[in-house]
Structure 1
Amino acid sequence: MSFPIQTHELASLDICDETSQVAYFSMEIAILPSMPTYSGGLGVLAGDTLRSAADRGLRLAAVTLVHRKGYFRQVLGEDGVQTAVEQPWSPQDSLFEESARVSVVIEGRPVVVRAWRFDMEGVTGKVIPIYMLDTDLPENEESDRRLTDYLYGGDSDYRLRQEAVLGIGGALMLYALGYEPAVFHMNEGHAALLTVALMKRQVPAGQLSAISDADVNAIREHCVFTTHTPVPAGHDRFSMEQAKRILGEDCAGTLERLGCCHENLLNMTYIALRFSRFVNGVAMQHGIVSRVMFPEYKIDAITNGVHAATWTASSFQAVFDHALPRWRTDNLALRYAIDIPEDDIAAAHDVSKRILLSEVEKRTGVLLDANVFTIGFARRVATYKRADLLFSQPERIVELADKFGGLQILYAGKAHPADDPGKALIRRVVELAKGLESGKLHIFYLENYEWTLGSMMTAGVDLWLNNPKRPYEASGTSGMKAALNGVPSLSVLDGWWIEGCIDGVTGWAIPDFEEEAQESASIYDQLEKTILPMYYQQPKVWHGIMRSTIALNGSFFNTQRMLGQYVLNAYFPQKRMDFSAAALEHALAR
């Protein structure tokens, strides 16, 4: 596992001058637990990135949609059947409405857009604005007023209209508010249409047909793109009929002429790739996968992270505040957690575990035992994440519980309302869990996995399990949150875990086998031969692994380090070069 040496340079690099404004676009952003403006990992990453930007005082403004109806609240029946319930909220109750209005032409008619502002404050008191676009205005037709209601809702027409509002409307809104961004960062391809607004500013009278290769290159100098999806089907694509009808013949034709279509479909990823000077995947392995998917483009990698102060449980925050007082402003200080007494680590985890088990009791009526080994598995439910892999040989789970005097397993996760295979997977896990319930084995599927429950689980379980089908895990961040709380992972070597796994030090690897039965057998074997004996019979060794998990993984897999890499490698590489040259000149002069 390697640790980039450039991270510390961020503190010395002047990134706050007037030419250094960054515009960060994301379809979803997890801003507060009370705002249902995100669905999962992409939104949580965006929120954590912005929290670190505020911590650092980066001159950044973020753009997203308001999502008045939220994503959805998950209700699970006794049989595991998922029901989606709307989560409406009122931005006018807590946000500031900007006076600026912009207009986006959709299907030949103007759609008026306004913005609500949320000021995100960092640990040092510095603030960055988040602008949440809203089309619910009386000037708009009724169907257009609903365009910013649902996150990932509706049909593909609705999605393309939304992406026009986010990309084109978002860029126009920033200009209307007086911003002149030096960098536009597209967090996934949903915002790729911001390049249309940039093209219209680039040429006289906004005539897209006049765009030249030189104009494209000029725009590229201002654009950065992060791709998160290692599955081709996961990239937003639209028919040319849709593109021409919704965006207009001139816009669709220009994008087609500039190489933004693939297999006769307008492809948001190809738009972003075509117009970006820096492109990155979200982990080393994902960078490799992305280069295979898009061999004609240069794709780098910046591994994801999580916001340390947000995802560290209060019990561990108290330990870190005492032992590592600068850890909030300098996450690298968590390296020195290796010197924290093991008893302090154990005591802090015990508090977190009891909080989690208290929540489980509220939801299920069953009080689990804080002394019994507890496994956590929680994430967006998709078939490639294989939530049912642990049940491949259910008799082995029963045997483990009997042999070691108890085993507790907690599941959580939402399937997209349109994902029938995902919803079926939830039902299967619930059904299998009920069939295995005994005095020594307890398995629960907790409904409505979201920010608060997620933070309880990553802090309160004893082991974080992750077993996606390789190579479909772009990065994953839940295990990073667990690491901040001393919780080791047992995971497939994919995504971030390839970089984070030191076997027997920060957790354990599930080897890559041809057959799923072999992978599940590896999970059972490692639990039986290594993990459970260590937990129950060698608690001091176990607490040592918890401590090294914090020191090695918590100190690196955070958005402070990640943002530093974006600033120095993606946003302002020339400033880094200027800084390095100046430092070298100063050293030589001495």
Structure 2
Amino acid sequence: MKAIRRFTVRPVLPEPLQPLSDLARNLRWSWHTETRELFEAVDPAGWRAADGDPVRLLGAVSAARLAELAGDRPFLDRLTAAADDLDTYLRGERWYQARDGQGAELPAAVGYFSPEFGVTAALPQYSGGLGILAGDHLKAASDLGVPLIGVGLLYRHGYFRQSLSRDGWQQEQYPVLDPNELPLTLVREEDGTPAQVVLALPGRRALRACIWQAHVGRVPLLMLDSDVEENGPGERDVTDRLYGGGSEHRLLQEMLLGIGGVRAVRTYCRLTGQPAPEVFHTNEGHAGFLGLERIRELAGTGLGFDAALEVVRAGTVFTTHTPVPAGIDRFDRELIARHFGDDGELPGVDAERILGLGLETYPGGRPNLFNMAVMGLRLAQRANGVSALHGAVSREMFAGLWPGFDPEEVPITSVTNGVHAPTWVAPEVARLGAAGTSGAAGSASAGSGSGSSRWDAGSEIPDGDLWDVRHVLREQLVTEVRKRLHASWRLRGAQAAELGWIDGVLDPDVLTIGFARRVPSYKRLTLMLSDRDRLRALLLHPERPVQIVVAGKAHPADDGGKRLVQELVRFADDPRVRHRIVFLPDYGMAMAQKLYPGCDVWLNNPLRPLEACGTSGMKAALNGCLNLSVLDGWWDEWFEPDFGWAIPTADASTSDEHRRDELEANALYELIEDRVAPRFYDRGAGGLPDRWIAMVRRTLGTLGPKLLADRMVREYVERLYAPAAHAHRLLDTGTATELAAWKDRTRALWPRVSVDHAEAVAATAVGSTAELGSTLSLRVRIGLGELDPDDVEVQAVAGRVGSDDAIVDARSFPLKPADGPDIEGRWMYEGPLALDRTGPYGYTVRVLPAHPLLATSADLGLVALPTEATGEGAGVLMR
């Protein structure tokens, strides 16, 4: 029988054990080994049954056991030490406070909005890399003392749980999550009633949401939940599941995340007295509506739309995570129009102005669609991709928003992702480094809050110790795989009596390759199956066998992805190879924390350049796992032969996707056959794989520090948050109004700006050639119409030229007005151009808007360039 109602009975802890509740409710335990070990000591069997979730553990432990622990002096001493350590962590000065004390202009607080957060498996509110990255961002911010406020949604069904049918087809289940059984606290008003945010919907309906708070170390994470009694059935289901439902359902989720999220932050700051955010960080376009709510707030103070937009842009950071247009949320313009304006949300804000922020009104765009990433970019003065290559891809992808500018000048920078070492580094690896003179491999730099240890401790670890730990981790993975595989086969309908073969699955002495990620087609789950006979030969090699552990979820609506999963599963079910290759269903954080450390090689073979970053390989590397990857995402940026192997790609050699996959699969097989496996099994005089261990050591000591989320968050603070806070502070009401008026005037008058004539003279020029090291003297006549020289910047842009006269490796040089306007109102600009490179060389001239408060010269997307008739031509040949 099923219960007609569910509720939670909370345990009553004896007074001496009260600190356990605080420790369980702060998710710092998810990355703090000593606290986890303390909870395990409460009830080891219960800890395993609770899957390492202290809230569930405390809800199930017996009263007798609690009474016993209340009188256990050694346990109480450990409890006191853990509680004191947490208190010190929460209250102590961190890196951010030290930087602030040194005079750095840092924001008082930052609002960080994301549709998903992967903090711990005990709070299943994530689907993949975006959410795990967001969770690691919060943890690193906590370690560094960055005053972040996380904002997301609480999905009552989370993301789906994955299982397999007998024939290997993906099955989805959506478990019901009770917030009272999660490490969450309901935010309440001063009178004790639950705090709520309210959104207006068409037809005079309302969408209400309560606010749950998770404590992620020092960082509050606010999660909005629409499952409240005041809502109608449709509104209650808005936060039912992550990435579920149709277009309107997704729109309501994103309105609640962005608009409701800002209101939740205001409520939280009012109730706690915490500083309000000066900077708002939009992690992907899903939360982009937060900018509209902030415009509405400012409009309520009497600021006009344009001036309010300038203030919002100055204090907003937008991070894009997708390298493919299909990965961006788009909505019909009619759907957006129906939900905004006087009959919907944000009354008083012109619905046409809202539409204008998101419509694809650029060449090649679809102007009937509202693009969330386009809105995110238009509402943010600072934007970034998540690796150097992804930044370049993003500049190409969104270049239409800045017509007239080359892609490399599009104002999208990059901050390469990092991962939170204390979460992802196995305790055995951390303890191994701790045996060195200075600390633990796997800990972040001193003062960050992640530990006081050095990454270079790996250089002091004896080869034998390092190899022993790698073997232990491989053994742990083998045990975990067999347990999960047995559970999976039972769900597929197998009887225990037919599963004896699982006891022989995998071997802790065999080279182990891991592959785990979401299963869109571009990640190519089944590339390894391109030549099945060759793969079998690799798996069953008599002297150098390979074993592969695979995991990943296909989106419930993606039948193509499900077919890829089924294809892989059916291959892995073959009795000839099933002891060497396995597919583990229900990939998530708990599985990942065993999988990454236990693998020797991490495989990543996406279609280049469609992997924005690929942080799973980072987590593996922090545990001494070597990467075998296409040069995409972060691997393109930091690959060295000491860290692993680069899979050659055929992206430029063929347009036939089957031929391309065949070429790249063959390259993958060759690498494993000829380089990876031989190096793993090549033993030196001491019986150890000396060259392999040297690569592991270099991966830990040299690559490791680059991969840390601490490094990533520091970059966000110094390169994006601090400049955004500074820009935001400069825009008071008068300044913002003046800047908005200047932009309007500049846009209106820009069509009359022209480059009328350009000429260059080189003292040592002979015909169309000039000497290296000489200087060209440029003279350019510019028409400014009704604009003034203070409104523009005139530049010469020079560099090498190709056969099509396109300038590459361009550099810009400012030109200055020589005197006043001539009788026709034209201005003469002059300046030197140093010829510092040999070969075909060319220049052009352009005029850009200029204002002290512009973040970049491309801010307005306006540029005036020479026409075909301008001047004497751009080419100068150097010798």
Of the structure 1 ranges 228-237 and 368-377, higher mean CA displacement relative to structure 2 is found in: 368-377
Residue aligned with 2:155, SS? coil
Residue aligned with 1:563, SS? helix
How far apart are the structure 2 equivalents of 1:255 and 1:574?
23
CA contact (8 A) 2:208 2:226 kept: yes
Task: Map residues 170-569 of structure 1 onto 2, 5 A cutoff.
Answer: 170-178=261-269, 179-204=275-300, 210-212=304-306, 214-248=307-341, 252-258=351-357, 260-262=359-361, 263=366, 264-295=368-399, 296=402, 297-323=410-436, 324-325=438-439, 327-328=443-444, 330=446, 333-364=454-485, 365-367=502-504, 368-400=506-538, 401-435=540-574, 437-438=576-577, 442-503=580-641, 505-513=642-650, 514=653, 515-538=660-683, 539-569=689-719
User: CA 1:488 to 1:292, structure 2 compared with 1: closer, same or farther past 3 Å?
Assistant: same
Of the structure 1 ranges 271-280 and 259-268, higher mean CA displacement relative to structure 2 is found in: 259-268
How far apart are the structure 2 equivalents of 1:356 and 1:443?
13
Deviations 1:211-245 (A, max 9, x none): 12x32111111100100000001111100111122
1:88 is matched with 176
After TM superposition, give the deviation of residue 146 of structure 1 in Å. 1.1
How far apart are the structure 2 equivalents of 1:378 and 1:20?
39
How far apart are the structure 2 equivalents of 1:19 and 1:474?
28
Residue aligned with 2:541, SS? helix
Name the larger-Rg structure: 2
CA contact (8 A) 1:260 1:274 kept: no
After TM superposition, give the deviation of residue 161 of structure 1 in Å. 0.2
CA contact (8 A) 2:622 2:700 kept: yes
After TM superposition, give the deviation of residue 60 of structure 1 in Å. 1.0
Deviations 1:58-87 (A, max 9, x none): 111100001111101000123220000013
1:167 is matched with 258
How far apart are the structure 1 equivalents of 2:726 and 2:287?
27
Deviations 1:374-408 (A, max 9, x none): 11111001111111111111111222332534221
1:117 is matched with 213
When you count helix as a share of all residues, which structure comes out higher? Answer: 1
After TM superposition, give the deviation of residue 576 of structure 1 in Å. 9.8
Q: % of aligned pairs identical?
A: 39
CA contact (8 A) 1:333 1:555 kept: no
How far apart are the structure 2 equivalents of 1:206 and 1:461?
59
How far apart are the structure 2 equivalents of 1:10 and 1:112?
36
After TM superposition, give the deviation of residue 473 of structure 1 in Å. 0.3
1:573 is matched with 723
How far apart are the structure 1 equivalents of 2:96 and 2:543?
48
Of the structure 1 ranges 401-410 and 28-37, higher mean CA displacement relative to structure 2 is found in: 401-410
After TM superposition, give the deviation of residue 196 of structure 1 in Å. 1.2
After TM superposition, give the deviation of residue 260 of structure 1 in Å. 4.5
User: CA 1:19 to 1:570, structure 2 compared with 1: closer, same or farther past 3 Å?
Assistant: closer
CA contact (8 A) 1:315 1:349 kept: no
Size of the aligned set, in residue pairs, is: 560
CA contact (8 A) 1:259 1:270 kept: yes
User: CA 1:437 to 1:197, structure 2 compared with 1: closer, same or farther past 3 Å?
Assistant: same
Deviations 1:262-312 (A, max 9, x none): 522111101110011110000000000000011224100000010001000
Of the structure 1 ranges 562-571 and 392-401, higher mean CA displacement relative to structure 2 is found in: 392-401
2:866 is matched with none
Deviations 1:91-134 (A, max 9, x none): 1233211122221112242212211111111xxxxx11000111
Residue aligned with 1:556, SS? helix
CA contact (8 A) 1:568 1:575 kept: no
After TM superposition, give the deviation of residue 19 of structure 1 in Å. 4.7
1:21 is matched with 109
Deviations 1:176-201 (A, max 9, x none): 22252110000000000001110101
How far apart are the structure 1 equivalents of 2:433 and 2:426?
10
Residue aligned with 2:720, SS? helix
Q: Which AA in structure 2 matches 1:559?
A: A
Deviations 1:301-339 (A, max 9, x none): 000010001000111021123324373453793144233
1:58 is matched with 146
Of the structure 1 ranges 226-235 and 521-530, higher mean CA displacement relative to structure 2 is found in: 521-530
Of the structure 1 ranges 335-344 and 127-136, higher mean CA displacement relative to structure 2 is found in: 335-344
How far apart are the structure 2 equivalents of 1:335 and 1:10?
24
Of the structure 1 ranges 357-366 and 167-176, higher mean CA displacement relative to structure 2 is found in: 357-366
What TM-score, normalized by structure 1, do the two folds share? 0.90
Deviations 1:513-572 (A, max 9, x none): 142211111111111111111111131111111111111222111110000000000100
Q: Which AA in structure 2 matches 1:118?
A: A
Residue aligned with 1:366, SS? helix
How far apart are the structure 1 equivalents of 2:632 and 2:329?
23
2:221 is matched with 130
1:102 is matched with 197
How far apart are the structure 1 equivalents of 2:517 and 2:417?
16
Q: Which AA in structure 1 matches 2:333?
A: M
Q: Which AA in structure 2 matches 1:428?
A: E
CA contact (8 A) 1:10 1:568 kept: no
How far apart are the structure 1 equivalents of 2:386 and 2:674?
33
CA contact (8 A) 1:196 1:251 kept: no
How far apart are the structure 2 equivalents of 1:244 and 1:352?
55
How far apart are the structure 2 equivalents of 1:259 and 1:456?
42
1:585 is matched with none
User: CA 1:290 to 1:17, structure 2 compared with 1: closer, same or farther past 3 Å?
Assistant: closer
Q: Which AA in structure 1 matches 2:706?
A: F
After TM superposition, give the deviation of residue 247 of structure 1 in Å. 3.2
Residue aligned with 2:157, SS? coil
| Structure 2 alignment gaps of length 5 or more | 1-93, 189-194, 270-274, 343-348, 403-409, 486-501, 654-659, 684-688, 728-879
Of the structure 1 ranges 550-559 and 243-252, higher mean CA displacement relative to structure 2 is found in: 243-252
Higher relative contact order (CA 8 A, sep 6+): 1
User: CA 1:265 to 1:341, structure 2 compared with 1: closer, same or farther past 3 Å?
Assistant: same
User: CA 1:509 to 1:286, structure 2 compared with 1: closer, same or farther past 3 Å?
Assistant: same
Please point out which of 141, 144, 154 is paired with 2:235.
144
Q: Which AA in structure 1 matches 2:422?
A: A
1:38 is matched with 126
User: CA 1:519 to 1:18, structure 2 compared with 1: closer, same or farther past 3 Å?
Assistant: closer
Q: Which AA in structure 1 matches 2:713?
A: L
How far apart are the structure 2 equivalents of 1:240 and 1:260?
8
CA contact (8 A) 1:240 1:252 kept: no
Q: Which AA in structure 1 matches 2:280?
A: F
How far apart are the structure 2 equivalents of 1:104 and 1:201?
14
CA contact (8 A) 2:331 2:370 kept: yes
Residue aligned with 2:411, SS? coil
How far apart are the structure 2 equivalents of 1:438 and 1:571?
51
CA contact (8 A) 1:282 1:304 kept: yes
Deviations 1:13-59 (A, max 9, x none): 21899952000000000122112100010000000010001111111
Q: How large is the Cα RMSD of the aligned pairs?
A: 2.3
User: CA 1:96 to 1:575, structure 2 compared with 1: closer, same or farther past 3 Å?
Assistant: closer
